[in-house]
Amino acid sequence: MTWDETAIKDRVRAFLDGHDPERMERLEFLRARFDAGLAWVHFPEGLGGLGAPRELQGVVERELSGTPQLDVGRQLIGLGMAAPTILAFGTEEQKRRFLRPLWTGEEIWCQLFSEPGAGSDLATLATRAVRDGDEWVVDGQKVWTSSAHHARWAILVARTDPDVPKHRGLTYFVCDMTAPGVDVRPLRQITGEAEFNEVFLTGVRLPDTLRLGAVGEGWRVATTTLMNERVAIGGGSAPRRGSGAIGIVADAWRARPELRTHDLHQRLLRLWVEAEVTRLAGVRLSQQLAAGQPGPEGSGVKLAFARINQALTGLEVELLREEGLEYDDWTFRRSESVDFLGRGSGYRYLRAKGNSIEGGTSEILRNIIAERVLGLPAEPRVDKDVPWKDLPR
């Protein structure tokens, strides 16, 4: 079938005729929406989609406005990173097992990538996975793992061959976070919360059926995850003109004329333009995704998002003066999700500091843009062909 806006609207109306959101439980409604192909319309039929163009997802969201929705803050890693990777590299059995409960939020996902000695250079990671018959035994430590404290599953990259160069000895797995040997410990951040963790893996046994992609192809699979991660963080930050952080600052400007100055006005105008350019770049990137996997352009959108978000939260604090500095929620607690726009200016200012670190540091993203987008000479890499076991650590 050829899908266009009219056909999608007809499909949504037919779905609502048979599924009244006022009478159905939230989870029941979301499951039915997935089964109707209205979760990700560009995914294949039977996997939450219709095989339709990606841009028609916006039509679905508008037509289903006011019905039960996803908790995107809680499900971001699953929706934005795990799902596209499973779709690209998973077996049919893996796709049918994981995608539905991932989308409905029945199973939360986290990302076991970064390590204490492998952050910006992820390929140097040391977590080992050793084959034992039909299982893999995993030992190592991961860090900065958001949502690990309530995750059911994780996407995991581990080293399976230390005798080859660092990028070639990695394998990608789905990790059962309830398996014996998985130890999740909180990391307190600048806001006082613990939305991320360190995770210790000690003798964790994973069946080979939880491997994504071929043995030794983990870097190629992980690259798909990382490119989608940068689009998820930067590309969807402001879906409408004047939304997101720029909308909050603009609303404060309109509501508090007594706090305005000429300097703040000029900075707000410049940031409005930059925020709109970044938003439109994100929209364009999302449209390009309909043709295939995201490329290095996602790094540019994520880099711009981090810089603008930090500038806007700083401007908001300056505009509100003493009121903007107020932040009294220092109680240590486990965070369920990131509610960036729903919290106060003090929280936003502190939380935005992490935007230039999470999902790839701004320094590394600049390297990616320079080499893979602008075509500039690459930095010298003396360890490129050295077996991982021989690298200094």
Q: Per the structure block, which two tokens stand in for 346?
A: 């003090």
For residue 378, the Cα-to-chain-centroid distance in whole angstroms is 27
Check if the beta carbon of residue 151 is closer than 8 Å to that of residue 108: yes
What are the backbone angles phi and psi of residue 205, rounded to the nearest 5°? -100, 125
Sign for the CA dihedral angle at 157, 163, 168, 171 comes to negative
Q: What value, to the nearest 5°, has the Cα angle with vertex 367 and ends 363 and 371?
A: 170
Tell me the catalytic residues. 229
Non-local (6+) Cβ contacts of 205 within 8 A are 132, 135, 136, 137, 138, 179, 180, 181
Kind and range of the H or E element at 16? helix 5-18
Please report, for residues 172, 279, 362, the alpha-carbon distance to residue 305 in angstroms, rounded to integers and kept in the order given. Answer: 28, 9, 10
- Residue 274 burial (CB < 10 Å; 0-12/13-18/19+)? middle
Categorise residue 381: left if φ over 0, alpha if ψ from -120 to 50, beta otherwise.
beta
**Which residue matches tokens 């048979």?**
18
Coil, strand, or helix at residue 155?
Answer: strand
Non-local (6+) Cβ contacts of 54 within 8 A are 41, 42, 286, 287, 289, 290
